[in-house]
Amino acid sequence: MASDKRRKKVRDRIAGLQQDERRRLYKYAARLRRAAAEAPDKTKHRPDCATWDDEDGLPPAVEKRRRRHKGSLRQWAEALVEDGDLGERETLTGPEPDAEGMVLFATAARCRVLVAGGDEDETLDCGVSPDLADAQRSELAVGDRVQLVTTRDDPTVVGLLPRTSVLSRPDSGPGGRHVQRVIAANVDCAVVVVAARQPALRPRLIDRYLVAVEHGGAEAILVVTKIDLLEPVERRQLDDLLAPYRALGTPVICCSSNEGIGLDVLRAALHDHLVVLVGQSGVGKSSLLNALEPRLSIATAETGASQKGRHTTTASTLHRLDEATRVIDTPGVREFGLWELSVDELRGYFHEFDRFAGRCKYSDCSHLHEPQCAVREAVARGDISTARYDSYGRLLESLR
Ligand code: GDP
Ligand code: ZN
């Protein structure tokens, strides 16, 4: 009885460990077990006493937990070895993942995962394993590739695979701390959506988005919606404004969902990619998706009914445009991606500076106030767009 009680206590504690702690515990227990098997006189040949801080650099959360539990790694491991039945594989490593999928929608505790099947995809509503590190649990994002255990009653996410790209925005977390919220992971391409008007087009916002997209490791496509609202003269002004982006090689597509302009070009640009749509609320992202694929019938500002819910939504969702193309729709994101961006990186993202920057007097020239700055000279000559240079200055200011 007493031993059952103790066993349960050990089990409960182990269940509360993080993956990383658990792995070390079982590694150590295995060493103890081997040592005991090799030498009949166990006590002499046990590996030296080990504590949780054997390995350097424990994350703060683990460190806190360790202190709370007090016991040494060795005590725990001994308990494990003595209770032989805890040595079962299931308890040692947890069940092996048996499937992989892509997160469609995530909250901290649950998520919806798309699992590619032979003929048809399957969507699973999954729990998230407590073994997933705390940071990863709260960070699971649309587009994440995850490992699943599907054999249980409640399919569970047990692992997060490395990301190829991460678009994120700063947010306030617990206690007003600045935290990173991932908007979308693993996208090949981010469609930066702005409206020709309503709301007014702000080039500085475009620049901000482009920097963020490149920083996150994705390619950008710039889409200007609602061009049906422009008079011909305004249309020419828009073209002038867009010229620097075209010169940089960024694909620029002008569209109207209402009049079906530019949709084929956009559809072709998106084909076969995992893309994310970013842009302020009201620029016409939902209308654009519906125009590309009417089957989606996403609620827009126009269709009203679910308007309230729509605007309070904070999670991104994934839509399937066609067989090979998937689009992540984000809630109106005002700001994103300038997470941990250094001044050096920012400079590097204004590619029109590249050609001139080498000729600045100072190699670490910020191009703001240094003498003999080749970038500022290029701006003065009109070789670099003044609007883009101004954006750079503002962005730099915001980093300091
Ligand atoms: P979202 O918040 O970015 O998803 O924007 P919506 O798709 O809900 O569109 C916001 C408003 O812009 C709605 O009133 C739409 O009818 C309008 N809108 C969207 N696309 C166009 C367009 O191509 N032309 C015009 N004139 N209005 C549009
Ligand atoms: Zn310079």
Last residue of a domain, one of 93, 110, 143: 93
Q: Are 295 and 333 in contact (CB under 8 A)?
A: no
Q: What is the DSSP string of 282-294?
A: TSSHHHHHHHH-G
Q: Indicate which atom in ligand 1 lies nearest the CA of residue 229.
A: 26
Based on the fold, state whether residues 111 and 146 are members of the same structural domain: yes
Q: Which ligand is nearest to the CA of 303?
A: 1
> What is the domain-level CATH number for residue 154?
2.40.50.140
Q: Could you give the percent of the chain with pLDDT greater than 90?
A: 38
Q: How far is the CA of 34 from the centre of ligand 1 (A)?
A: 67
Tell me the per-residue pLDDT of 48-93, one tens digit each, with 9 for 90 and over.
555 555 444 445 555 555 555 545 666 666 666 666 554 443 344 4
172 in a domain, yes or no?
Answer: no
Report pLDDT digits (tens) over 210-226.
Answer: 998 998 889 999 999 99
What is the reported pLDDT for 377?
Answer: 97
Tell me the CA–centroid distance for residue 296 and ligand 1, in Å.
Answer: 15
Residues 200 and 313 in one domain: yes
262 and 314 in one domain?
yes
* pLDDT tops 80 at residue 123: yes
List pLDDT tens digits, range 125-165: 998 887 676 656 667 888 999 989 887 778 889 888 888 88
Task: Give the residue ranges of DSSP H helices in 148-276.
Answer: 203-216, 232-247, 263-270
Mean pLDDT of the chain: 80
Domain boundary among 63, 93, 123: 93
Sheet holding 274-278, edge to edge: 252-254, 219-225, 189-195, 274-278, 325-329, 317-322
Within a domain: 297: yes
Q: Look up the domain containing 140 and give its range.
A: 99-162
Residue 338 lies in a domain: no
Alpha carbon 88 to chain centroid distance?
36
Q: Is residue 228 assigned to a domain?
A: yes
User: Within this chain, do residues 314 and 205 fall inside the same structural domain, yes or no?
Assistant: yes
* Closest C-alpha to ligand 1, atom 5: 284
Whether the full predicted model's pTM is greater than 0.85, yes or no, is: no
Specify the residue with its C-alpha closest to ligand 1, atom 17. Answer: 284
Would residue 24 count as lying in a domain? yes
Which two tokens mark 296?
A: 């989606």
In the predicted model, is pLDDT for residue 192 greater than 60?
A: yes
Q: Clarify whether residues 222 and 313 are in a common domain.
A: yes
- Do 197 and 274 fall into the same domain? yes
- Among 55-59, 192-196, 244-248, the range scoring the smallest mean pLDDT is 55-59
* 290 and 375 together in one domain: no
- Looking at the domain assignment, is residue 335 inside a domain? no
Using alpha carbons only, how large is the chain's radius of gyration in Å? 27
Residues at CB less than 6 angstroms from ligand 1 = 225-226, 228-229, 256-258, 281-287, 300-302, 332
Question: What is the structure's pLDDT at 71?
Answer: 59
Q: What angle do CA 273, 278, 284 make, to 5 degrees?
A: 105
